[in-house]
Amino acid sequence: MKIKEAAIFLNTTPKTLRFYEEKGLIYPRKDKSNQYRTYSHEDLYRISTILSLREIGMSIPAIKSLLDNPTLSDKQYLDIQRSALFEQWIEMRDMIETVDKMLLQDDMKDIEPIRQLTNHLKKLKEIRRSWTDRWNFDNQAANYDNNIKKDGHVFNIHDGYDQALAKVVDMVQISSGKTVIDIGIGTGNLGSRFLSVGARVIGVDQSTLMLQKCKEKYPQIETRKGHFLALPLLDQSADAIVSSYALHHLTDEDKLFALEEMLRVIKPGGQICIADLMFHDNYHRKKVISSYLRNGNKLAVESIEDEYFADKSRILAWLTERGLFVKAMQFNDILGLIYIKVN
Ligand SMILES: C[S@@+](CC[C@H](N)C(=O)[O-])C[C@H]1O[C@@H](n2cnc3c(N)ncnc32)[C@H](O)[C@@H]1O
């Protein structure tokens, strides 16, 4: 097809097609003698993908990096785009809420409350943007399950893993047809346990390859690319939210923002249950670290310091301040569970 025909066929303009070419998104064959372009079937398919991604708001550089990645499927592109849209939507909502609060101020000339509101907004934006996957979970996806050490080893963070996952299922009483969200689902080891009760399970993870692995293992699980701090879910859409071994990739301060985000998504009467690496409190953390040091277990101390094992007391205080019903337990020195029933 020549450029005019291609543009008509795709319901766009020749100018747009030339623009995409200029940006390195498409490479139609050009006649050497007159430079006329010919668009192949593959070109047309690629352009229609670009047009759809533009329609849903994706930037040209983002489209380019997606199209240049041959390992991603069309559905994975869309999943990434959905996650980006949710981030924008959540950010917009925060901005609107801030404006609403500013408008409630009696005196707009009183700078301090306005400054506090805008600082809070700025902080939220920074927190969402600054989180990076230092652990490269995409690289871990293929061997993640094999690397879960059941016993032995000088420092085994998975000591009690099965017991903790079973306890989450036991605590979260869920009936058939209800929606369970597993955040940081990884390869699906926790979320899959809710399939047998007939729940709709949605797995959220920031790692595309973890989600891919999860889908291979459990095709019934709906996977969504997303982040603890910007969940790709509408308000009050979950009957239960669970998470295992994932929240400790956020600092203690960011964990509270993640909980706030879970409270946005959970339905009234819903349940949240988190099994993760945590200490009772800072005193407990120091005591455990000292005991590892006394035993010469440097690996344990390095592992603890490389991540953000939670201070459970801080999370519990935050939750109870909000009047939520909370239960907590500890399986061993480093592994605990927090259960929340939302009013
Ligand atoms: C150690 S794995 C745990 C996987 C699984 N939940 C389990 O219990 O085996 C941590 C998972 O959390 C995900 N994760 C870490 N930080 C995250 C974040 N901020 N938002 C969403 N997922 C995150 C990682 O990509 C990874 O798949």
> How does 154-182 read in b/e, with b if 16+ C-beta sit within 10 Å?
ebbbebbbeebbebbbebbebeeebbbbb
Single out the residue of 334, 327, 173, 322 nearest to residue 259, CA to CA: 322
Of the candidates 41, 67, 93, which is a domain's last residue?
67
48, exposed or middle or buried, with CB in 10 Å at 0-12, 13-18, 19+? middle
Domain identity same for 10 and 37: yes
> How far away, in angstroms, is 168 Cα from ligand 1 center?
16
Q: What does the pLDDT read at residue 151?
A: 63
The mean per-residue pLDDT over the stretch 115-121 comes to: 81
Of the candidates 130, 153, 177, which is a domain's last residue?
130
Q: What does the pLDDT read at residue 153?
A: 64
Sign of CA dihedral 252, 338, 186, 123: negative
Domain identity same for 321 and 231: yes
For residue range 231-240, list pLDDT tens digits in order.
999 999 999 9
The mean per-residue pLDDT over the stretch 326-334 comes to: 97
Domain identity same for 85 and 221: no
Domain identity same for 8 and 123: no
Q: Pocket of ligand 1, candidates 130, 131, 137: which has the most ligand atoms within 8 Å of its Cβ, to mutate?
A: 137
Domain identity same for 47 and 181: no
Domain identity same for 273 and 204: yes
Nearest CA residue ID for atom 24, ligand 1: 184
Average pLDDT score over the chain:
91
For residue range 127-154, list pLDDT tens digits in order.
887 888 999 999 999 999 998 876 656 7
pLDDT of 108 > 80? The answer is: no
The mean per-residue pLDDT over the stretch 199-226 comes to: 96
Domain identity same for 30 and 83: no
CATH number of 56's domain: 1.10.1660.10
> How far away, in angstroms, is 307 Cα from ligand 1 center?
12
Is the distance from the beta carbon of residue 227 to the nearest atom of ligand 1 less than 6 Å? yes
Q: What does the pLDDT read at residue 171?
A: 97
Is the distance from the beta carbon of residue 157 to the nearest atom of ligand 1 less than 6 Å? no
Nearest CA residue ID for atom 3, ligand 1: 245
Is the distance from the beta carbon of residue 245 to the nearest atom of ligand 1 less than 6 Å? yes
Nearest CA residue ID for atom 16, ligand 1: 249
pLDDT of 243 > 80? The answer is: yes
Measured CA to CA, the distance from residue 160 to residue 122 in angstroms comes to 39
Is the distance from the beta carbon of residue 228 to the nearest atom of ligand 1 less than 6 Å? yes
Q: What does the pLDDT read at residue 152?
A: 59
The ligand 1 atom nearest the CA atom of 226? 21
The ligand 1 atom nearest the CA atom of 141? 27
Calculate what percentage of the chain has a pLDDT beyond 90.
66
Range in 100-114, 211-225, 240-254, 287-301 the model is least confident about: 100-114
The ligand 1 atom nearest the CA atom of 275? 8
Is the distance from the beta carbon of residue 188 to the nearest atom of ligand 1 less than 6 Å? no
pLDDT tier for residue 120 given thresholds of 50, 70 and 90: confident
- Taking 3-state DSSP, the helix, strand and coil percentages for the chain, each rounded to the nearest 5, stand at 50, 15, 35
> How far away, in angstroms, is 192 Cα from ligand 1 center?
15
Q: Which two tokens stand for residue 324?
A: 């939520």
CATH number of 273's domain: 3.40.50.150
pLDDT tier for residue 250 given thresholds of 50, 70 and 90: very high
Q: How many domains does the chain have?
A: 3
Is the distance from the beta carbon of residue 244 to the nearest atom of ligand 1 less than 6 Å? yes
Domain identity same for 248 and 148: yes
> How does 9-20 read in b/e, with b if 16+ C-beta sit within 10 Å?
ebebeeeebeeb
Termini Cα distance of the chain: 61
Domain identity same for 194 and 90: no
> How far away, in angstroms, is 206 Cα from ligand 1 center?
7
Of the candidates 22, 48, 67, which is a domain's last residue?
67
Domain identity same for 142 and 250: yes
> How far away, in angstroms, is 185 Cα from ligand 1 center?
6
The mean per-residue pLDDT over the stretch 53-79 comes to: 81
> How far away, in angstroms, is 126 Cα from ligand 1 center?
21
The mean per-residue pLDDT over the stretch 275-303 comes to: 94
Domain identity same for 306 and 291: yes
Domain identity same for 327 and 193: yes
Q: Which two tokens stand for residue 172?
A: 């979260």
Nearest CA residue ID for atom 14, ligand 1: 184
Expressed as residue numbers, the domain containing 173 is: 137-341
For residue range 8-43, list pLDDT tens digits in order.
999 999 999 999 999 999 999 999 888 899 999 989
Calculate what percentage of the chain has a pLDDT beyond 70.
98
Is the distance from the beta carbon of residue 307 to the nearest atom of ligand 1 less than 6 Å? no
